[in-house]
Amino acid sequence: MDRNILLAFLLSTLVLVGYYQFFPPQETPKKAAGTATTLSAPATGAEAAGETASVTPSATLEAAGPADSAAPAPLAVAKDVVVEAPHYQAVIDTNGGTLKAFYLKDYLYAGPDPKPSNNWIYHLIGYKEKTAYDPQRWVNMVGHNQPQWQVLPLKEQNPAQFYGTSSERLEVQGEATELVLAANLQNGLRITKTLTFHPEDYLITLQVALENPTDNPIRVKPSFNMGAGNEIVEPDQFNHPQRGAAIVDGSFKTYSDSDFETPVELQKLRWAGVMDTYFISALKPQGEENFSLTLEGVEALAHGNKILVPTMLYQEPEFELRSGQRYKKTFDLYLGPKVQREMEKYDQRLPASLDLGWFDFLAYPMLAVLRWLFSLAHNWGVAIILLTLVVRALLFPLAFKGMLSMRRMAKLNPRMKYLRDKYKNDKDRLNREVMELYKKNKVNPIGGCLPLLMQVPVFIALYSALMPAIELRHQGFALWLTDLSATDYTLILPFLMGASMFLQQHITPQPAMDPVQAKVMKFMPLVLVFFFLDMPSGLVLYWVVSNILTLFQQLFFNKIKEAEIEH
């Protein structure tokens, strides 16, 4: 053997033996009994935090005890830790301590495909073939390759490198269960993240602690990245792209891609989140009713198109963490479906993310009644039909008054025709004469339209309630209707809606009206058919049943004699 090689080998051996003689490695701490699992690993993209006069009240600075500055375990290969809870599965990457995946066990990525393999009507309307997918695949609340639960002491620093793991699987059953991630940063800071998982809901508590065991103060500016929300679920036809959402100064606000082309600073927040139609990722620091964060846009693909989706960045003001001090901040996180009862466990104002629009005062009760009816019928299609019966029963008194008004106006048709012929060149005089005719015969010209006008806010409220109702997602009714949240690609429901509306017009007494207006009314069913072609089948089902009930109602009205009307 070459003498130089042998000498180098002996010297290297001597150095290693001497090093371990004077610096023996510490034993890896064993997992404590109970529900806490400790990973001697680096916290994900974590940014350290420190102290200053401007530190928010919910962030605490305290003296670190001897146990707080314990050294990390020996270097080991990074692994994924799988957290199994009844309603979700979380995958934590110890190489950075980030959330790698968060699967919702109760919600599939794609529902049943209603399209038969050889149906010409789908080609006629331009139905596009779906890409192959796993029918058992769960929705993932981590999307767009953006870091989740990333914490960094300073934004320009690199994420900490974690050390090893004492467990690769954590079961969350019966009681809240903790998972602890820890790491030493290159500047001497020690970072610890304590994740608390709850078995019966989607609430997760994350506590971030930064300790300074060195002899010198260290400047820090803690930041926390929530990521860009769940993956875009492309098979959901009416699913909105990710939007920013928050309770800002007591009011619910949303932010679309055009709003965060440049970073948006949000202040006076109760909670903030990233949401689509059915799912939401939300955060709020514990103990802060009015906090601030930044929405930043990141590029993503949706249906083959480039879009911007928001990512949330929470930051503390820069401060100095003195020797022996520890900084702590605790966040409440929600990653899950937009189910009202589940969101209320997190925050009473989180259900505002359903975004039910102007008629929410009608939409919320209708959604509550729909859920109650489902508890009786155990079928969402039947529940929608029962809801239609309830709505029509409530509107019946108005419909009866409208029928009386329409019949009185129909009796004035000959006189109206005479006035139109006589004053066809004098619109102002015609209007005065018509109003005088109405007044003389005690007829309200809008009385016949009142029931229809009343249906407009009811329809809008129902539309607002059904669109974000995750309860209808992938839920079938009967026969070909396998998904009430998707379009009826057989077109049967839209055509039934148009036909029932046409019959309704045919048997309803029509008052005299302008010829142009009369033509518009005749074509209204056809217009509505095209309008409803691309609507969720659950909404079209409501309209079809409502039209059928109106037909029977009108047949009943037509049998009522004039004398009975007057009395």
pLDDT at position 280: 93
Q: How far apart are CA 69 and CA 326, in angstroms?
A: 10
Q: Does residue 303 share a domain with residue 431? A: no
C-beta separation of 275 from 354 below 8 A: no
Q: Does residue 295 share a domain with residue 205? A: yes
More confident site: 221 or 476: 221
Mean pLDDT of 531-559: 81
pLDDT at position 567: 44
Q: Does residue 349 share a domain with residue 370? A: no
Phi and psi, residue 211, nearest 5°: -120, 145
Q: Does residue 431 share a domain with residue 282? A: no
Q: Last residue of a domain, which of 325, 353, 381?
A: 353
pLDDT at position 47: 35
Q: How many domains does the chain have?
A: 2
Amino acid letter, residue 365: P
Tens of pLDDT, residue by residue over 400-422, are 777 777 767 766 777 777 777 77
Structural domain span for residue 445: 361-564
Mean pLDDT of 254-275: 87
Q: Does residue 308 share a domain with residue 340? A: yes
The encoded tokens of residue 258 equal 């055009």
pLDDT at position 344: 92
Q: Is 322 among the domain residues?
A: yes
Q: Which domain CATH number covers 251? A: 2.70.98.90
More confident site: 426 or 548: 548
DSSP letter (8 states) at residue 162: P
Q: Which whole-number Å values give the CA distances from 172 to 64, 142, 332, 407, in the listed order?
A: 30, 20, 18, 67
E strand or H helix that includes residue 19: helix 3-22
Band (pLDDT 50/70/90 cuts) for residue 336 is: very high
Band (pLDDT 50/70/90 cuts) for residue 496 is: confident
Least confident of 30-44, 48-62, 326-340: 30-44
Mean pLDDT of 314-320: 87
pLDDT at position 34: 39
Q: Is 1 among the domain residues?
A: no
Mean pLDDT of 320-348: 90
The encoded tokens of residue 441 equal 């015969």
Q: Does residue 314 share a domain with residue 392? A: no
Question: Which positions ≥6 away from 137 have C-beta within 8 Å?
Answer: 108, 109, 110
Mean pLDDT of 344-348: 91
Q: Is 483 among the domain residues?
A: yes
Tens of pLDDT, residue by residue over 539-548, are 888 888 888 8
Answer whether residue 498 shows pLDDT above 50: yes
Q: In sequence order, which ranges of 39-157 are alpha helices (DSSP H)?
A: 120-124
Mean pLDDT of 544-560: 80
C-beta separation of 451 from 85 below 8 A: no
Q: Does residue 189 share a domain with residue 101? A: yes
pLDDT at position 429: 76
Q: Does residue 333 share a domain with residue 282? A: yes
Regarding beta strands 36-39 and 177-184, do their DSSP bridges make them parallel or antiparallel, or are they unpaired?
A: parallel
Q: How far apart are CA 282 and CA 144, in angstroms?
A: 17
Question: Which positions ≥6 away from 13 have C-beta within 8 Å?
Answer: none
pLDDT at position 284: 92
pLDDT at position 512: 52
Question: In this structure, how many other beta carbons lie within 10 angstroms of the beta carbon of residue 225?
Answer: 23
Q: How far apart are CA 195 and CA 88, in angstroms?
A: 15
Regarding beta strands 218-220 and 305-315, do their DSSP bridges make them parallel or antiparallel, or are they unpaired?
A: unpaired
Q: How far apart are CA 395 and CA 379, in angstroms?
A: 25
Answer whether residue 345 shows pLDDT above 80: yes
Band (pLDDT 50/70/90 cuts) for residue 222 is: confident
Mean pLDDT of 438-447: 67
Least confident of 2-11, 36-45, 204-213: 36-45
Q: Does residue 472 share a domain with residue 329? A: no
Q: Is 107 among the domain residues?
A: yes
The distance of Cα 395 from the centroid of its chain, to the nearest Å, equals 32
pLDDT at position 20: 39
The distance of Cα 405 from the centroid of its chain, to the nearest Å, equals 45
Q: How far apart are CA 407 and CA 400, in angstroms?
A: 11
Q: Is 172 among the domain residues?
A: yes
Question: Which positions ≥6 away from 206 have C-beta within 8 Å?
Answer: 149, 193, 194, 195, 196, 330, 331, 333
pLDDT at position 63: 63
pLDDT at position 386: 92
- Count CA within 13 A, CB hemisphere, residue 458: 16
Q: Does residue 371 share a domain with residue 257? A: no
Phi and psi, residue 205, nearest 5°: -105, 130
Mean pLDDT of 188-198: 88
Answer whether residue 487 shows pLDDT above 50: yes
More confident site: 10 or 256: 256
pLDDT at position 392: 83
More confident site: 58 or 384: 384
Q: How far apart are CA 460 and CA 347, in angstroms?
A: 27
Q: Last residue of a domain, which of 299, 328, 353?
A: 353
Q: Last residue of a domain, which of 327, 353, 379?
A: 353
Q: Does residue 328 share a domain with residue 373? A: no
Q: Is 427 among the domain residues?
A: yes
Closest CA to 331 of 196, 201, 210: 196
Question: In this structure, how many other beta carbons lie within 10 angstroms of the beta carbon of residue 425?
Answer: 7
Q: Does residue 384 share a domain with residue 338? A: no
Q: Is 216 among the domain residues?
A: yes
Q: How far apart are CA 465 and CA 493, in angstroms?
A: 20
Q: What is the mean pLDDT of the chain?
A: 75
Q: What angle do CA 136, 309, 297 make, to 5 degrees?
A: 150
Q: How far apart are CA 207 and CA 329, in angstroms?
A: 6
pLDDT at position 4: 46
What share of the chain has pLDDT > 70, as a percent? 71
Band (pLDDT 50/70/90 cuts) for residue 123 is: low
- Count CA within 13 A, CB hemisphere, residue 177: 19
More confident site: 269 or 113: 269
3-state secondary structure (DSSP) of residue 474: coil
Q: Is 533 among the domain residues?
A: yes
More confident site: 265 or 437: 265
Band (pLDDT 50/70/90 cuts) for residue 7 is: very low
Mean pLDDT of 376-387: 90
More confident site: 76 or 31: 76
More confident site: 156 or 348: 348
Regarding beta strands 223-227 and 203-211, do their DSSP bridges make them parallel or antiparallel, or are they unpaired?
A: unpaired
